[in-house]
Amino acid sequence: MKSRIKTDTLILVISIIVTVPIFFIRKLYPVNLFWDNIFDVIGIILILKGNLIRMMARGHKRTNSQQGEMLVMTGLYSIVRNPMYLGSFLVGTGFILLLWPFWVLFIFALIFYLRFNRQMLKEEVLLKRNFGKKYEEYCQKTPRFFPSIQNILRIESKKYLDLKEAFSTKEKWGLLTWIALAFVLEIIQEKFVFQSFSISSAGIVFLSAILLYGILLSLKNKLG
């Protein structure tokens, strides 16, 4: 296992462990349950969207890179050069909005930048060495990490979404595991932060968010 993967796994485990004790500091959270549910829905949608982006990116690269011998500039890679990192950022943002005080998002963004910006720069040096001018031209027309808002909204349109590619890699399991983890932690949060314990109410919020995301995804595909 690469040291980078070990480090990222350690950071993830620590984040999950720290999350639950934070629930006991109720003053950090808004007392208004309505706004908490709004953040929950947005967070769930971002977790779904981020994981789907990772699925689409890995699946497309696996299909078109020919074991790293080809520079992939199609699919999501025509929108942003590092869609996998973008997907991870959206998943992390979703968890922040779902489980943490919303202002932690700014801390998370800073940590994410410090953690992955150097890695992206290293990868760019390697790609430039392997593909030369072709990669330089690609960099000039495609943003490194964060695409325009317009392109963010178009990501899951039928032009880019190939379900066969998306479900061809292990990233597909994230759709189940991330949502299951978020659901369990959300129930614990409801118990300690809002002094209520209702699996059914948490389930309604999650199902509503998943249904809303499914409707939005369907509309995007119809509009192309």
Nearest alpha carbon to residue 95 among 189, 215, 197, 211: 189
pTM of the entire predicted model:
0.86
What number of other Cβ atoms are within 10 A of residue 175's Cβ? 18
Both structure tokens of 66: 């020919």
Is a pLDDT exceeding 50 seen at residue 1? no
Q: Mean pLDDT, to the nearest integer, of 104-123?
A: 89
For 89-105, how does the pLDDT look when each residue is reduced to its tens digit (9 = 90+)?
A: 999 999 998 888 888 88
What pLDDT is stored for residue 3 in this prediction? 59
pLDDT tens digits along 151-207: 777 777 777 778 888 888 888 888 888 888 888 888 888 888 877 767 777 788 888
CA distance 7 to 115: 10
Contact partners, residue 95, CB within 8 Å, separation at least 6 = 43, 47, 182
The pLDDT tens digits for 176-190 are 888 888 888 888 888
Average pLDDT of the residues of the chain: 83
For residues 57-67, give the mean pLDDT: 83
What does the domain layout of the chain look like in residue ranges? 3-22+31-223
